[in-house]
Structure 1
C-alpha cells in the first residue's frame, strides 16, 4: 500500500490543503483508514477501493472522524490518478451519492474537476444562529448587511457566515470547544464557511473545522461549492457563472478554488494539486 500526499487547490507544495491519498485501499478496515488519517494529520485523507474500469468507491477520513464528502481530497485523488494514468474520468461512489471526477492537462499540469450532488440551501433556526455567532465571537455589526447567515449543502452541510469586511475576517478568533459542541449537536460534520465578498463572484474565506480536529482548513472544496449554491439560490449570481474563492492565506497555505455554477443541478469544483512527497 502506498500513501500519497498531495496539496490541492494550489500549484505549489507549500500552498493549498494537504491530503493523503491511498489508491489501493481494498484491504484496509475503517479503523486502519482512520489510523492513517490521524497519523498524517491532514484535514482529510481519501481512500480508493473497489476500482473497476471507470468507477470506484471513495471514503474520506479526518484525523478524528470519517467525513461524508471532501472536495480537496477528491481533487487530490483526481490529480494523483492522472499523474499515473493520464487525464480521464472516474465515477466515484461516495457516502453522499455518485460523484464524477474529470482530470485534464492544462499548460503541462493536471487540473481536476468534480460535480457535486444536488445542493440545497436552508434557513438557520434563530436560536442556532445566535449560538453559532456566539461561538464564532461575532456580533451583528460584524456581519454583511446584504447576505444572511444560512445553511448550504453540496455534499456537506456548511453554515455560510458572510462578514462585513476583510478586517473582521482577519481577526476571526473563535471558541473551538464551544463551536465543536454546537456542530456535533446540529450534525454539522464539516466546516463553517466565514466569508467576505471581494467582488460579484469573488470571495475570500476562512473555515473553522472542529469536527475534524483541525482549527482551520486551508482550502475547502465542499464549502466553496456550498457557497456557490447559496449565491445561486439567493440570486446573487446569474448562472452560468464562475465563482472564485481565496482561502488559506491566514494559515500560511494560500489556495484558489474555482466553482462553476450552472442554472440547475450540482455545481462544479475545480483546482490543481501538487505532490508534496513523504
Structure 2
C-alpha cells in the first residue's frame, strides 16, 4: 500500500500465522521524512489499532544495521509502546535482513527482539519488555470501570485481583469469573474512554483463567479510537509480570494467552517468565497481509 509517492505502508498481522487472524498493524520501514502529524494521518487512514514507524536509531544503540527507533500511532494519538506492532515490524525486517537480534528504541525504553523461523515456515518474533511494575486501583476507579463495562462486581474473579499493570504502557487488569462474562463484552465507549484518559491507561485487560497456564483475554481500546484490540502484546507483558508478582503463576513460567477468538481473529500470545529476571518475553507468529 502506498500512501503517497514516497511512503510505502506494509500490512502485517501479529500473533497469528494466518493473515486473517491476530492483530493487524501498519508498518512503515522508512519514516524518516514523515512529520508526527503525517504519521498520525497514516495511522488514521489505515484504521488499525496501531501502526509502527521506523527511523534511524540513537547513536550507539545495538548492532549497526539491526537497531532502529520505533514509534507507534493509533488512529487518535501516539502511544508509548505497542507489542503487536513491534512483532509485526520485527517480522517485516526479518524477512528483509534475516533472522537474529534486533534492538528498538521506543518511548517506553529499549526493547530487544529476536526473530526466528517459525515451524510453519514463516517467522516468529519474541520481544523483551521494559522493566514492569503494577499498582493498586482505587475503589472509586474500579467502580467506574465496572459501571462503564456494565459488569456487576460479582462477575469479577476474586483470584485475579483488579490492578493496574505496566510493561511499557498502563493496563487495568480485571478478572472475569466465567468465560461467558468475558465473551459478553458491550461497554459504554465514552464513559470508559474518560476513565482511561484520567488514569493514563492504554487498554483494559479482561482476563479469564482457563487453567494453570492458559488464559483468554480481551482488550477494550477506546482511547485509540478502536472498540477492541484483537491481540495486545504490551498488555500480555504487563499481565505476565502482574501474575508473577501476585503469585498467580510460578516465577519460572510459560503462559498461553488466547485473544481475538470473540472477534473472529484468533491469535496466540506466549508469555515467558524467568526467575530472577523482571523483564517479560512475549512471542508470536506473524504474516504479511497481501492487499
* TM-score, normalised via structure 1 length: 0.98
1:23 matched to which residue of 2? 29
CA apart distance, 1:132: 1.0
CA apart distance, 1:145: 2.2
CA apart distance, 1:40: 0.4
1:166 aligns with 2:179: yes
1:37 matched to which residue of 2? 43
1:103 aligns with 2:115: yes
Structure 2 residue corresponding to 1:175, chosen from 161, 176, 188: 188
1:128 matched to which residue of 2? 141
Superposed CA deviations along residues 108-154 of structure 1, whole A, max 9, x for unmatched, are 22100100001101111111111111111111110102221111001
Structure 1 segment 78-89 matched on structure 2, within 5 A: 78-89=90-101
Q: Distance in 1 between matches of 2:175 and 2:34?
A: 40
2:221 matched to which residue of 1? 209
Q: Distance in 1 between matches of 2:13 and 2:213?
A: 24
Farther-moved stretch of structure 1 (78-87 vs 48-57): 48-57
Q: Distance in 2 between matches of 1:29 and 1:101?
A: 26
2:128 matched to which residue of 1? 115
State how many pairs are aligned: 277
Structure 1 residue corresponding to 2:209, chosen from 191, 197, 200: 197
Secondary structure at the counterpart of residue 267 of structure 1 = strand
Secondary structure at the counterpart of residue 78 of structure 1 = helix
Task: Determine if contact 2:241/2:278 at 8 Å carries over to the other structure.
Answer: no
RMSD: 1.0
Structure 1 residue corresponding to 2:152, chosen from 135, 139, 150: 139
2:104 matched to which residue of 1? 92
Q: Distance in 1 between matches of 2:71 and 2:207?
A: 28
The unaligned stretches of length 5 or more in structure 2 are 1-6, 58-63
Farther-moved stretch of structure 1 (48-57 vs 164-173): 48-57
Superposed CA deviations along residues 1-55 of structure 1, whole A, max 9, x for unmatched, are 3210001000111100000001111111111100110000001000000155221
1:70 matched to which residue of 2? 82
The unaligned stretches of length 5 or more in structure 1 are none
Q: Distance in 2 between matches of 1:8 and 1:187?
A: 25
Q: Distance in 1 between matches of 2:200 and 2:234?
A: 16
CA apart distance, 1:91: 1.0
